[in-house]
Amino acid sequence: MKNRSMVVSLIGRPNVGKSSLFNRLMQKQHKAITHDQPGVTRDRHYGITTIEDLQDVDAADIILVDTGGFYPERIDERGRNSEEENANKFFNIMTDHARMAIGESDLVLFVVDVREGALPFDNTIADYIRTTKKPFLVVANKYDSDKQAGEEIDFYSLGIDSDELFTTSATHGRGVTFLREKIQRLASEFSNGALKSMPEISKGVTPREEVVSKIALIGAPNAGKSTLLNLLVGAQRALVSDIAGTTVDPIEGFFDLYFGKEAKILEEDQGFSSNDGLLFKQYEEFRRNNADVYQQMVDSYAIEEDSDKNVGMEHFEVDYELTTLVTEELDQQRSESFDKNYDQVFNEESEESSEEEITLSTESSETVEKKEDDNHWRSIHIIDTAGIRRQKTVNGFIESQSVYRSLRSITESDVVIVMIDATNGIGHQDRRLIDISLEKGKSVIVALNKMDLMREQLPDEAAKREWLNNLRRDIPWLDFCDIITISAKHNKGMKKLKEALKKTILVRSRNIPTGELNRFVFDLVERNPVIAKSQGAKRFKVKYTSMIKSGPPTFLMFTNKSQGIPEHYRRYLVNSIRSGFKLYNTPVHLIFRTGNDLAKRMKKSKMAMMLND
Which pLDDT does position 348 carry in this prediction?
A: 47
**Which amino acid is it at 264?**
K
Position 322 pLDDT exceeds 90: no
Architecture of the 211-241+248-265+375-388+398-509 domain: 3-Layer(aba) Sandwich (3.40)
Q: What is the pLDDT of residues 452-493, one digit of tens each?
A: 888 888 888 898 888 888 877 777 777 788 889 888 778 888
Is 16 marked as a binding-site residue? yes
Residue 482 annotated as binding?
A: no
How many Cβ atoms from other residues are within 10 Å of residue 543's Cβ? 24
The domain spans of the chain are 6-73+89-195, 211-241+248-265+375-388+398-509, 511-612
543 annotated ligand-binding residue: no
Which residue did the predictor score with more confidence, 174 or 336?
174
Residue 46: which of 19, 70, 17 has the closest Cα? 19
Residue 314 in this model has a pLDDT that exceeds 70: no
Residue 250: pLDDT band with limits 50, 70, 90: low
Please report which confidence band the pLDDT of residue 320 belongs to, taking 50, 70 and 90 as the band edges: very low
187 is an annotated ligand-binding site residue? no
Neighbours of 84 (CB within 10 A): 12
pLDDT value for 194: 58
The verdict on domain 6-73+89-195 having CATH code 3.40.50.300 is yes
Beta strands in 487-550 (DSSP E): 531-533, 537-539, 542-550
User: Nearest CA to 134 among 43, 10, 19?
Assistant: 10
Q: Is 205 annotated as a binding residue?
A: no
451 is in an annotated binding site: yes
User: Does 452 carry a binding-site annotation?
Assistant: yes
Any binding-site annotation on 221?
yes
- 222 marked ligand binding residue: yes
Q: 84-93, 141-150, 281-290: which has the minimum mean pLDDT?
A: 84-93
What's the CA gap between 68 and 237, in Å, rounded?
13
338 is in an annotated binding site: no
Asked, colleague to colleague, whether 6-73+89-195 and 211-241+248-265+375-388+398-509 share their fold, the answer is: yes
19 is in an annotated binding site: yes
To the nearest whole percent, how much of the chain has pLDDT over 70?
Answer: 71
pTM of structure: 0.72
Apex CA 98: angle with CA 94 and CA 104, to 5°? 145
141 annotated to bind ligand? yes
Domain 511-612 has CATH 3.30.505.10: no
Contact 518, 432 (CB under 8 A): no
Judge whether 182 is annotated as a binding position. no
Q: What is the mean pLDDT of residues 8-17?
A: 89
Q: Is 515 annotated as a binding residue?
A: no
Is 449 among the annotated ligand-binding positions?
yes
Q: What's the mean per-residue pLDDT of the chain?
A: 77
- Given a contact cutoff of 8 angstroms between Cβ atoms, the answer to whether 125 and 150 are in contact is no
Is residue 226 part of an annotated ligand binding site?
A: yes
Residue 534 has pLDDT above 70, yes or no: no
Q: Is the pLDDT of residue 399 over 70?
A: no
Overall size of the chain counted in residues: 613
